[in-house]
Amino acid sequence: MTQEAANSLPPSPSLSQGLVSIFTGDGKGKTTAAIGTVIRAAGHGLRVFIVFFMKGKDYVHGEFAILSKLPNVTVASFGQMGWVRKDKVKPEHKEQAGLALAAARQAMLSGNFDLVVLDEVNVAVASKLVELDEVLRLIDDNPQNVELILTGRYADPRLVQRADLVTEMLMIKHPYTKGIKARKGIDY
């Protein structure tokens, strides 16, 4: 488990009402919006746990190195998973995704975090890396004072139904369609 130190800033405010939010759709900005929320929350002294389902160690250590350095933010990822094609799922991918879900659940129930982000969990569900029922159970067991954010395209309708806030990021225009490739520092 890759887990960066969570320095706590006393006194920590707490949420009186945590909600469940989903960022889904084919447009850019899902993980990015989750990261933005993490920054906002950390800026207010809330304690944040973020676990990456479809992004391996390198990704987390590169792109989100800055997140790990923030006080009150704990970043977790398991294995070198990265993106897994639905038809190329191996047992170790399921194991890693299972560990990620368990870590999110533990963080959510620990009382040590105000915001728990499950990045790309929707894709993990769609790719059968984790069971939908497990994620629904996570939502059902969410304490009132913990905010949950689930990201990734293909959000299951039952997750959407259970969430309090759902934003669909809709691709109106994307440079990839013009043949422009993803650029380091901006897109990843």
- From residue 132, alpha-carbon distances to 41, 72, 138, 173, 184 in Å are 27, 29, 10, 31, 33
Residue 76 bridge partners (DSSP): 3, 51
Window 61-80: contact mask with a copy of itself (x via CB under 8 A): -xxxxxx--x----------
Classify residue 174 as exposed, middle or buried by CB count within 10 Å of its CB (0-12, 13-18, 19+): exposed
Q: Which of 87, 88, 144, 172 binds a copy of itself (CB under 8 A)?
A: 172
Residue 51 bridge partners (DSSP): 76, 118
My answer on whether omega of the bond before 71 falls inside 30° of 0, hence cis, is no
- Binding flag, residue 165, a copy of itself (CB under 8 A): yes
Tell me the window of 43-51, 97-105, 119-127, 130-138 that interacts with a copy of itself (CB under 8 A).
Answer: 43-51
- Binding flag, residue 168, a copy of itself (CB under 8 A): yes
Q: Residue count at the site for a copy of itself (CB under 8 A)? A: 58
Residue at 3: amino acid letter? Q
Residues 103-122 binding a copy of itself (CB under 8 A) are: 114-115
- Binding residues vs a copy of itself (CB under 8 A): 13, 15-17, 19, 21, 23, 25, 27-37, 39-46, 62-67, 70, 114-115, 147, 160, 163-175, 178, 180, 183-186, 188
